[in-house]
Structure 1
Amino acid sequence: MDKGAETKKITTHEDLVIYRKAFGAAMTIFEVSKKFPVEERYSLTDQIRRSSRSVCANFAEAWRKRRYKAAFVAKLSDCEAESAESQVWLKFAVKCGYMSIEQGRELFHTYNQVLSGLVKMINSPENWLIG
C-alpha cells in the first residue's frame, strides 16, 4: 500500500459511496419534484420521492442487519427493487416533460451506479457481515 494513500474506516452506512450517491439522488429528486404539476402530487411526485428515499432507508436497515446474512441480503434486495422503481419514475418524469432529459439521464446513471454496488454486495455478502 502506498504510504501516502489514506484509507477511511467504514463505521456507518453513511460512509459508503453507494449510500451517499443514493441520498444525493433522493435529494435532487425532492428538489426537482417540487416543480411537478399539482395534479401529480399524490401520484408521480409521491411515488418518486417515496422510492428514492426508500433506497436509503432500506440500506440503513441492511447495514444494521449484517449479523444475519439472509436478512442483510433481503434488505439489500429491497434497495435494489426501490432503485429500479426510482428509475421507472424518472422515465415517466422525463416523458411527461416534468424533468429535462439531461437531468433524467444523470439521475438514471446514478441509480445504475447504486444498483451496481448493491448487486456486488448481494453477490458477496460475506465481505460485509459482522459477528
Structure 2
Amino acid sequence: MKTYREFIAWQKAMSFVTLTYKTTHSFPKEEMFGLTSQIRRSSVSIPSNFAEGFGRKGNNEFLRFIRIAIGSLYECQTQLEIARNIEYFDQEQFDFLHNKSKEIEALLRGLEKKLEM
C-alpha cells in the first residue's frame, strides 16, 4: 500500500469519528469538557495513530501504533457505554456505534496479526 488512506481500517475509523461527533453533539452542554470531549478525543486517536504508525519506519513501529489505536478504540467503546448508561442516547444508537467500533476492532486486530508475522 502506498498510503494509509488505502486501508479500510483507516477509512472506517474516519467515518467512526464523524459518527461520534454527530452523536455527542446532542449531549448536554455541561458535558462539553467531560464525556463529550473524551469520546471525541479517543475516536480521533484511532485513525490518527494508524496514520502516524504508517508514517514511521518499519513494521514494528506500525504495529506499536496499531496497538495504541486499539487502546483508543477500547477507551471510546467504554465511554460510549457510559454515555448509554446515563441515557445520553438510547440502546439502538449505542448498538449502531458499538457495531461500527467492532468492525474497526476486527480490522485492526487482523492487521496486528499480519504485522506480527
TM-score higher than 0.5 here?
Answer: yes
| Structure ID, larger Rg | 1
Aligned CA-pair RMSD: 1.5
Cα offsets for 1:44-63 (capped at 9, x unmatched): 00000000000010011121
Q: Secondary structure at the match of 2:32?
A: helix
1:34 to 25, 29, 35: 25
* Greater fraction of residues in helix: 2
Give structure 2 stretches of 5+ with no counterpart. Answer: none
Sequence identity, in percent? 26
Tell me what 2:115 maps to: 125
Tell me what 2:14 maps to: 23
**In 1, distance between residues paired with 2:3 and 2:116?**
17
TM-score (norm 2): 0.92
TM-score (norm 1): 0.83
**In 1, distance between residues paired with 2:2 and 2:16?**
22
Q: Secondary structure at the match of 1:124?
A: helix
Runs of 4+ that moved beyond 6 A: none
Cα offsets for 1:37-92 (capped at 9, x unmatched): 11111110000000000001001112112x32221111000000001111001101
2:36 to 35, 41, 45: 45
Provide the aligned length of Structure 1 versus Structure 2. 117
